[in-house]
């Protein structure tokens, strides 16, 4: 009886492995999907804090032109909370896309809400 059970289990296991291999061979694309360079910001590198958020929705895809980058904050440390404000001269030009990049890191306990707003002097 036990032998029969083992045979049945072994058959089921081989069926499972075969079906998975088959699935993988059919589902695997012939080449790796293109990785947008912006997504690299989401990848962990050794020594960094643990990655805590992967965004499930697709990232915006900017056009293939060289952007003018305005840095508003670079590694500003807040404890426990903060307001970062300032002003900058908007670059002149005609824009196909304007992209905001907010990158954050937190250590210990919790941080709740981030708000960002822009105001134009009138």
Partner 1 sequence: MFQGTSPEYGRWSVLKDITEYTALFKGTVNFVFHAPGAIIQGNFTTWLSISFYPVPKGETPPSEPNVILPLWSGVSLTQSSPSATLSVNVPYNTLNATLELYAYGFGLDEFWYTNEPSFRDVIVSVDSKPIASVLPFPYINTGGIDLFAWRPITAVFTLDDPAYRLDVTPALGLLEGEHELSVQVLNIFPASRWIISGALLLYTSPNTPPAKQVSYSFNGPVVATATNPSFTYFNQTANISYSYSSKIGENLYTLESSQSFANNQTFNQMGEHNGLRNDAHSDHEHRARIFTHL
47-86 residues near partner 1, rule: CB under 8 A:
48-56, 59-60, 62-86
Residue 37 is a binding residue for partner 1 (CB under 8 A): no
Distance in Å, CB of 24 to partner 1, minimum: 23
| Segment near partner 1 (CB under 8 A); pick from 6-14, 18-26, 27-35, 110-118 | 110-118
**Contacting partner 1 (CB under 8 A), which of 27, 33, 35, 108?**
108
Asked if 32 and 53 count as a contact pair (C-beta separation under 8 A), the reply is no
Q: Which two tokens stand for residue 89?
A: 């001269």
CA-only gyration radius of the chain, Å: 25
Q: Residue 92 and residue 43: Cα distance in Å, rounded? A: 33
116 binds partner 1 (CB under 8 A): yes
Name which of 6 and 90 has its Cβ closer to partner 1. 90
Q: Tokens at residue 115, please?
A: 């708000």
Count of Cβ atoms closer than 10 Å to residue 19 Cβ = 10
Confirm or reject binding of residue 35 to partner 1 (CB under 8 A). Answer: no
HSE, side-chain direction, 13 A CA sphere, residue 46: 0
Which span (1-9, 10-18, 23-31, 36-44) binds partner 1, by CB under 8 A?
36-44
């Amino acid at each position: 009886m036990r032998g029969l059970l083992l045979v049945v289990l072994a058959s089921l296991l081989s069926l499972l492995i075969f079906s998975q291999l088959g699935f993988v061979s059919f589902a695997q694309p012939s080449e790796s999907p293109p990785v947008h360079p912006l997504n690299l910001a989401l990848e962990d590198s050794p020594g960094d804090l643990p990655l805590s958020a992967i965004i499930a929705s697709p990232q915006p895809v900017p056009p293939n032109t060289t952007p003018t980058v305005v840095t508003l904050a670079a590694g500003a440390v807040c404890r426990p909370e903060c307001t970062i404000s300032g002003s900058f001269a908007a670059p002149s030009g005609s824009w196909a896309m304007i992209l905001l990049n907010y990158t954050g890191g937190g250590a210990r306990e919790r941080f709740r809400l981030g708000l960002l707003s822009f105001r134009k002097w009138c």
